[in-house]
Structures are given as structure tokens and as C-alpha cells.
A and B are shown apart, each in its own frame.
Chain A
Amino acid sequence: MNGNTGILISIRKRLGNFTLEVDCNIQEKVTAFLGASGSGKTTILNCISGTLSPDEGRIAFGNQIYYDSETNINVPPDKRRFGYVFQEGNLFPHLTVEKNIRYGQSRTNRKNRDSITQVVEILEITELLERYPNQLSGGQRQRVAIARALAMEPRLLLMDEPLASLDGGLKSRIIPYLHHIKNAYEIPIIYVTHAITEAMALADRAFLLDDGKVTTSGEPYQILASPSALPIAHLTGVENIFSLPVASSDKMKGITELEIGGQQLVIPYIDVEIGKMVPVAIRAEDIIISLEPDLPISARNILNGTVDEVDDQVMLSILVEGQRFSVKITHEARQQLQLDKGKNVYCVIKANAINLLWHDT
């Protein structure tokens, strides 16, 4: 043990025909496990939380061992102090929001009125404290669930698709709260999701899970570049995700320019320092392919690149300054424009079709 402060998850668990087998050493603050449903994401979290026992292996955090099949250590979930935010919230329906939040607090904190002030303020649920869970909207319920897990002052925060049950608009409204938590609390977070956008927005490192095994790991946007991430990208419906530095920003014109190699990507204005990385997402069907650069059109972005790959699903893979763009076209268009490997093309993208995943204000 050379002063290891990381989280070690090296476990095997069989559930029917499915076998989870992972061996990860986590050093980052926010880690995401990315995978489709059935890939074993929730099983990992259940094993870490102690609500499910692995068949064999070892789970450790810092110098504390929570599970070790060799020495028969298996710390019960109530002794681990790992906050767990569940996909469906799992709020206690017979308790008010405040009692839910205080459920995991120590006896001294429970009597202390101020002990939940910070978390309640960050998540903006002060007005909801007297309500019961069935009087909350989906987004409010998830925020309360997050507050409840944080109020117990956990050593580690586990989040199981906390946004999955929310619709698109709500999702993007909760992500800033999660970002806030990442900055306000010193605890590591393990986040499980099938949405690359969420992983991009929050995680410092991501593990790609497929059928119970880790296939790739790295920074989230690096993972996206790997071929094994494609099915997940399609699942989310956003095929192109990049992390790009801000080149310039003009409030008067209402635009911000991001740098992509030597070229510029124009997006609606955001208030971000120059040089900062911002993650953006573009849907494959929002990109138009042109053979000419000088077009009398309104779209702000005309990026030069070359066709790298064409697959039968009418998905084009275009390299722009080393970044890979996936573009959806029709079969006819492909034939008419003769889009074959190596062809020089221009990707036309409306500024408004570029979605900002997250930025620090």
C-alpha cells in the first residue's frame, strides 16, 4: 500500500447468464461507468454500496477495505457510509422531504437546524422541505434524493442514472446542480449512465462497459472517439461530441468561436474565458455535406475535412483537423456527390444545431 488514496474495484459477480468482471483503480474525482442497459452498471454500484455481495474480489477505498473475498471481509451497507442516489430516487413516501434528507444524518446533526442548509440551498429545495415525495415533480424528487445522499456526509457518492427518469429539458437543468456538487464537496463521485452527454459534462474519467466488462477507459471525449463507443452514442442520439477550446467571444455579435485545429466553430454566445475547454454535441443529422466552400447560405460553420469511412448505414465519418464527425446522409446523396473515402468535403453546421453540454460560468 504505497499511500493509495484511490478506489479499487476488482470484483466478479454472476447473475444468471450474466457475469460482471471489472478491475478498476479510480483516482479521479468524478468517474463515469458508461454502458447500455444490461451492461452491468447498476450491479457495480450495488456491489460498491454493499447492497449486493460480489462472488469474489476486493473493494477498497484508501486504506479501508470494504470487501475482500480472501479474508472474508464484507462491511454491511450501513457501515460503509457511501451515499447512493438511485435511478428512481427511492424517497421514503411516508416521510416529508426534510425527514427524508435527515434520515441518514448522525444523531447530533439531526438536531442541528443548520446541518442541511448548505445542501438544501445548493439544490434549491428549501421551499419543498415540508412536502411529501408524492407532491414533488420528477426533477424535484431527484434533487431531494441527491440532497439526502449528501446530508449523511458520505465518504463516496454513488449515482445510478440520476437523470434517466427525467425528460430532456429537465436533464439539462439538473446537470448544473451536479456540477455544483462536484465543486462544493470534496468526495469522489462514481456516476453510472448510458448517456455520453452526462459523462462528458461531469466525469473526469469514464469506463465503457459492455456485457459486464470494461472495454475502454479514459477521458470521456477520448472514449467517444473509440469505435466501441458508437452504439452508446447512437443510444443517446448525439453522435458528435467534442471538447474544444474557446478562441474568441463577442457578446455584441452574440457569438463565441471555438477552435478546431486551424478552423473555427461558431456557436451562440457563452460567457466563458478564452482558452477554456467546452464540451459540445452535434447530432449526425444536423450536419450537411457540401462539395463547395462558398455557399450563399445562413449557416455559420463550413468546416473542411475528408471522408474517412462510409458504412452501409449511410453514416459518413469525416475527419476535420483530426476530429471525427459522424454525418447522416441519404443513399442518393452519397451516390450523387460520390462521397467515397479520401474525398475533400465541407461540413455545414448551423450555429444553433451545436448544443453546449456544460460550461462553467
Chain B
Amino acid sequence: MRITSAEVAALLLSIKVSLFSLVIMLPPGLLVGWLLAKHEFRGKSILNTLVMLPLVLPPVVSGYLLLILLSNNGPIGRLLSEIFNIEIIFTPFAVVIAISVISFPLLVRGILTGISSVPTELENAARTLGASPLKVFFTITLPLAHRGIIGGIILGFSKSLGEFGATIMVAGNIQGKTQTIALAIFNAVHLGQDITAFRLVLISTILAFISIWITERITISNNHI
């Protein structure tokens, strides 16, 4: 009962796109989390609603909206294909976009909780000690918010690994190209390949287990805060 190359490909693709999505979404996630946690500005509630929307929308709906935007007839898709000659739909990049949109609210939630927990008095104290707002962010806010931020990262990453609805809408289910582990499980069950399905479910469970374990390790390691 050996793991097949298709299964390995699905697993690797899931990990790759999830990591890639995390890397590109973390900076905007930190920015949005910081803005929502520490600032008052016009349109704050609109920004909050927009960011959190994918959390409440059915993923299939988010996926459908993305499909309309990104297809060759859609406003963004047309621009990309005419100017750069790039097609996104049904490529691994479409997977990245789909899982990024779906996991972003979870990432921001964690960051927002973490940054909100940092007392403004400490940030003010750092300002009076000569630190610019940017230095305060990197030397005080970020380190003290690390629990929430790591929580958001793990939650977002796990969501990315298992995303199904939006991915299948914009990226399809192409084996070896856009078939992530969630899609592969769906495929296997659909085709009655119970053993394959069971193996993939087991791998997913182990991945989830590891991510929770890492979170715990990281949060416990610094006990001064």
C-alpha cells in the first residue's frame, strides 16, 4: 500500500501554495491588523467588513466572484491577458489567489487580536524614548503581539491547506497542476477509491496536528510576557 505520485503531488502542491500565499499575505495582513487595532480613520468599518467578508460568504460564492474578476472576460483577467499575456484561471496561481482570499480573514483576526492586546501605554513609552512609529512597531508591538500573530498564521495556513470551494471554482481540479490535497480527497471519494481517500485524510490530520503542536511550542517558549 504505497503512496502514489499523484497523492504526493497533491500534498506538495497544497504545502507550496499555502506557504506562498502566507508569504505574500503576511505584510498586508500585518498592515490591516495594525490599522484596525490601533487607528481610527474614516472607512474603518468598511475595511473591516471587506476583509472579514470571505469568512461568512460560502467559499463557493467567493470563488465564483473571483472567477468573474479573473476570467479573460473579467475586468482584472482581461487586463492581465491583454497587457502581460498572462492567464490565471485554472493555474496554480489561481489556487494561491483563492486560498489567500479565503484565509486572509483568519490571518487578520489573529494579528488584530495580538496587536490589540499590546498596551498603547507601552507604545507611547517607546515613543517618548525616541523611537519612531516604525521602530515602535517592530521592537514593541510585533514582539508583544507574537502570540496572536502566530495564531493567525497557523489558522490561516491550516485553512489554506484544506480550502476547497473557492479553489475548485477558479483553479479547477487538474491532477498534478491545481489539485490540492482537499480536491484529491474529494476526487478519491467521488471515484470510490476508499484507500486513497483514507491515506489523504490521515495526512491532512497529521498536518493539522503538527501545526497545532508548533503553535503551542512557540507560544510557550517565551514566558516573560
The complex places the Cα of A84 from the Cα of B128 at a distance, in Å, of 7
**Which residues does chain B contribute within 8 Å of A81, judged by CB atoms?**
130
Q: A86-B125, A90-B122, A92-B140 are in contact. Are A134 and B224 (CB under 8 A)?
A: yes
Most chain B beta-carbon contacts within 10 A, residue among A79, A88, A92, A152: A92
The complex places the Cα of A49 from the Cα of B139 at a distance, in Å, of 20
**Which residues does chain B contribute within 8 Å of A82, judged by CB atoms?**
128
Q: Are B121 and A93 in contact (CB under 8 A)?
A: no
Tell me if A61 is interfacial: C-beta within 8 Å of chain B. Answer: no
Q: A93-B225, A94-B222, A94-B225 are in contact. Are A78 and B130 (CB under 8 A)?
A: yes
Q: Are A77 and B224 in contact (CB under 8 A)?
A: no
The complex places the Cα of A84 from the Cα of B129 at a distance, in Å, of 8
Tell me if A148 is interfacial: C-beta within 8 Å of chain B. Answer: yes
Encoded as 1 (CB less than 8 Å from any B CB) or 0, chain A from 45 to 88 comes to: 00001110000000000000000000000001111111110101
Q: Are A90 and B121 in contact (CB under 8 A)?
A: yes
CB contacts under 8 Å to A, within B115-136, are 119, 121-122, 124-133
**Which residues does chain A contribute within 8 Å of B139, judged by CB atoms?**
103
Q: Are A86 and B121 in contact (CB under 8 A)?
A: yes
Tell me if A104 is interfacial: C-beta within 8 Å of chain B. Answer: yes
CB contacts under 8 Å to B, within A109-139, are 132-134
Q: Are B121 and A103 in contact (CB under 8 A)?
A: no
How many A-B pairs have beta carbons closer than 8 Å: the answer is 62
Interface of B toward A, CB cutoff 8 Å: 119, 121-122, 124-133, 139-140, 143-144, 222, 224-225
The complex places the Cα of A103 from the Cα of B122 at a distance, in Å, of 12
The complex places the Cα of A99 from the Cα of B99 at a distance, in Å, of 40
Closest A residue to B124 using CB positions: A51
16 contacts between A and B (CB under 8 A): A49-B124, A78-B127, A78-B131, A78-B132, A79-B130, A82-B128, A83-B128, A84-B128, A86-B121, A92-B122, A92-B126, A103-B139, A104-B130, A134-B224, A149-B128, A152-B130
Q: Are A94 and B128 in contact (CB under 8 A)?
A: no
Q: Are A76 and B130 in contact (CB under 8 A)?
A: no
Choose among A76, A88, A133 the residue that contacts B127 (Cβ–Cβ < 8 A).
A76
**Which residues does chain B contribute within 8 Å of A132, judged by CB atoms?**
224
19 more CB-based (< 8 A) A-B contacts, given A90-B122, A104-B131: A50-B127, A51-B128, A77-B128, A78-B129, A78-B130, A78-B131, A78-B132, A78-B133, A79-B130, A84-B125, A90-B125, A92-B126, A92-B144, A93-B144, A94-B222, A103-B126, A103-B139, A104-B128, A149-B129
**Which residues does chain B contribute within 8 Å of A88, judged by CB atoms?**
121
Q: Are A152 and B129 in contact (CB under 8 A)?
A: yes
**Which residues does chain B contribute within 8 Å of A77, judged by CB atoms?**
124, 127-128
**Which residues does chain B contribute within 8 Å of A86, judged by CB atoms?**
121, 125
Q: Are A104 and B222 in contact (CB under 8 A)?
A: no
The complex places the Cα of A80 from the Cα of B122 at a distance, in Å, of 17
Q: A88-B121, A132-B224, A134-B224 are in contact. Are A51 and B144 (CB under 8 A)?
A: no
**Which residues does chain B contribute within 8 Å of A93, judged by CB atoms?**
144, 224-225
Most chain B beta-carbon contacts within 10 A, residue among A82, A94, A133: A94
Choose among B129, B132, B144, B225 the residue that contacts A104 (Cβ–Cβ < 8 A).
B129
The complex places the Cα of A97 from the Cα of B123 at a distance, in Å, of 17
The complex places the Cα of A132 from the Cα of B222 at a distance, in Å, of 12
Q: A77-B124, A86-B121 are in contact. Are A94 and B144 (CB under 8 A)?
A: yes
Q: Are A148 and B129 in contact (CB under 8 A)?
A: yes
B23 nearest CB across to chain A (Å): 25
**Which residues does chain B contribute within 8 Å of A84, judged by CB atoms?**
125, 128
The complex places the Cα of A50 from the Cα of B127 at a distance, in Å, of 9
**Which residues does chain B contribute within 8 Å of A103, judged by CB atoms?**
126, 129, 131, 139
Q: Are A51 and B222 in contact (CB under 8 A)?
A: no
A315 nearest CB across to chain B (Å): 39
A278 nearest CB across to chain B (Å): 35
Q: Are A94 and B224 in contact (CB under 8 A)?
A: yes
| 5 closest Cβ pairs, A-B complex | A104-B129, A77-B127, A90-B125, A84-B128, A132-B224
